């Protein structure tokens, strides 16, 4: 085994592989699934550099969650939209400060429930709460509104009170879209994104990018890119990091992340057919020769 930046290790067997990533250096900013991401990169023949970029931090006040639970118990919501699995579980934990778990589940089961994709749907199944609608891929605010528009008889919005379990940053487009459709919207934000306690791996990632030691960067959330820039800002290196990313192969998990990257002038080389980590790694690895040629032609720069 040999160590690589970020504290992970790769095997000598993987070091010698030449299919897939062909031994290229792959930076990923995944946090909760960092080990799994490193293993996926190894499996596809790459050298992983995993620098966790985020952590989920409970909001300073649980007032929103407690108010939501009280209103839910009183039957004051027609529908609840769950955006993340983590947020669903945190909300259920907060609810136990107000009522027994069984009472919370019963109240939620008597409400129309919308899950933004498989993760919140799985968390709701764990609770024993039936899901009225599951939003299809790529699970953005656009798909949520489209799904609701297509099922307006099943989940009516006009003159109805609708709660939205938010995460990270507020989904203003979703909240605005629900309001436009006549809903009274209540945002319930139970956690936010923060930098990890240990930012040394992120600092090392910035320096590796500037030294052109990274061949591929994989983003599985837009906040990862935002936090990378935040670290770069500490040493006034934002323009240099963006310029380095422009010369690097970039994989993005889905349209929200891709939009954030493009907003900063960074081209997205691969966005997988399904917005999942495994598909992202596999699809970019399989297209490495083509992507490298295209990138080098577009930048007219070598390493």
Quick one: 168 and 122 in the same domain? yes
Q: Select from 163, 193, 223 the last residue of a domain.
A: 193
Q: Is the pLDDT of residue 213 over 90?
A: yes
Q: Is the pLDDT of residue 79 over 60?
A: yes
Which of 259, 199, 221 is CA-nearest to residue 84? 221
pLDDT for position 9: 36
Quick one: 83 and 37 in the same domain? no
Domain count, the chain: 2
Q: Is the pLDDT of residue 106 over 60?
A: yes
Mean pLDDT of the chain: 90
pLDDT for position 292: 87
Q: How many residues does the chain have?
A: 303
pLDDT for position 7: 36
Quick one: 140 and 212 in the same domain? no
Q: Is the pLDDT of residue 168 over 80?
A: no
Quick one: 157 and 189 in the same domain? yes
Quick one: 152 and 272 in the same domain? no
Q: Is the pLDDT of residue 60 over 90?
A: no
pTM of the shown model: 0.80
Mean pLDDT of 160-185: 92
Q: Select from 193, 226, 250 the last residue of a domain.
A: 193
pLDDT for position 264: 95
Angstrom distance (rounded) from CA 286 to CA 88: 35
10 Å Cβ neighbour count for 277? 18
Residue 84's CATH number:
3.40.50.10090
Quick one: 217 and 179 in the same domain? no
Sheet with 112-115, edge to edge strand ranges: 133-134, 112-115, 79-82, 161-166, 184-189
Whether the Cβ atoms of residue 144 and residue 151 lie closer than 8 Å to each other: no
Q: Is the pLDDT of residue 301 over 50?
A: no
Q: Is the pLDDT of residue 67 over 70?
A: yes
Quick one: 159 and 108 in the same domain? yes
Helix (H) or strand (E) holding 189: strand 184-189
Quick one: 127 and 144 in the same domain? yes
Quick one: 47 and 61 in the same domain? no
Whether the Cβ atoms of residue 24 and residue 67 lie closer than 8 Å to each other: no
Angstrom distance (rounded) from CA 221 to CA 53: 10
Quick one: 267 and 176 in the same domain? no
Quick one: 183 and 282 in the same domain? no
Q: Select from 134, 165, 193 the last residue of a domain.
A: 193
Residue 47, classed as helix, strand or coil, is strand
Range of the structural domain that residue 281 is part of = 2-54+197-299
Quick one: 102 and 40 in the same domain? no
């Amino acid at each position: 085994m040999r160590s690589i930046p970020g504290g992970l290790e790769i095997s000598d067997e993987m070091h010698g592989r030449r299919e897939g990533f062909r031994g290229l250096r792959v930076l990923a900013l995944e946090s909760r699934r960092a080990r799994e991401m490193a293993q996926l990169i190894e499996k596809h023949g790459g050298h992983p550099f995993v620098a966790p970029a985020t952590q989920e931090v409970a909001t300073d006040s649980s007032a929103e969650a407690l108010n939501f639970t009280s209103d839910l118990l009183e039957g004051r919501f027609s529908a609840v939209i769950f955006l993340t699995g983590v947020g669903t579980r945190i909300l259920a934990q907060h609810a136990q400060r107000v009522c027994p778990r069984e009472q919370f589940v019963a109240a939620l089961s008597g409400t129309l429930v919308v899950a933004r994709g498989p993760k919140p749907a799985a968390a709701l199944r764990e609770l024993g709460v039936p899901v009225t609608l599951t939003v299809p891929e790529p699970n953005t605010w656009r798909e949520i509104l489209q799904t609701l528009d297509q099922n307006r008889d099943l989940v009516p919005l006009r003159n109805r009170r609708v709660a939205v379990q938010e995460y990270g940053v507020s989904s203003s487009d979703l909240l605005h879209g629900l309001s436009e459709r006549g809903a009274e919207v209540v945002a319930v934000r139970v956690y936010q994104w923060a930098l990890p306690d240990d930012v040394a791996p992120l600092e090392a990632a910035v320096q590796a990018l500037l030294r052109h030691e990274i061949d591929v960067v994989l983003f599985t959330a837009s906040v990862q890119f935002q936090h990378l820039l935040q670290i770069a800002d500490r040493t006034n290196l934002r323009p240099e990091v963006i310029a380095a990313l422009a010369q690097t192969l970039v994989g993005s998990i889905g349209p929200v992340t891709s939009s954030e990257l493009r907003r900063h002038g960074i081209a997205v080389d691969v966005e997988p057919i399904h917005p999942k980590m495994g598909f992202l790694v596999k699809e970019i690895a399989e297209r490495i020769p083509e992507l490298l040629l295209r990138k080098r032609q577009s930048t007219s720069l070598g390493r």
